[in-house]
Amino acid sequence: MEKVLARIIIEGRLHGYNFRYLTQQQATKLELVGFIRNLSDGRVEIEAQGDKANVEKLLAWCQQEPHSSNIRNILYRYDDPTKGYTEFMLR
């Protein structure tokens, strides 16, 4: 299986929807490692590393209800996995 690191930026109104916590739960279920954090400009940043198929499942999950109606845009790119993450963390 191909391993990737996805760098994801989500724009929208996600605060107050437990988005970070729910994303952490979903990433853990998908056996991904990395982190999710709020940025100072209101966007959310995710680094998710693992099997490419599971990273794509996380991206698809981000676009589902109930939080999808609050998302304006999702930007992402794939990189070679380089970080030594051992779990998916809230930052």
* Whole-angstrom distance, CA of residue 59 vs CA of residue 57: 5
Q: Using only C-alpha atoms, what is the Rg of the chain?
A: 12
Q: Which of 7, 18, 37, 38 is catalytic?
A: 38
- 2-47 residue pLDDT tens: 899 999 999 988 766 688 899 999 999 999 999 999 999 989 999 9
Q: Which of 13, 18, 20, 72 is catalytic?
A: 20
pTM here?
0.90
Residue-range domains of the chain with CATH: 3-82 (3.30.70.100)
- 81: buried, middle or exposed (CB in 10 Å: 19+, 13-18, 0-12)? middle
CB distance 8 to 48 below 8 Å:
yes
To the query of whether residue 43 is one of the catalytic residues in this protein, the response is: no
To the query of whether residue 7 is one of the catalytic residues in this protein, the response is: no
Q: Do the bridges between strand 44-51 and strand 71-79 make them parallel or antiparallel, or are there none, so unpaired?
A: unpaired
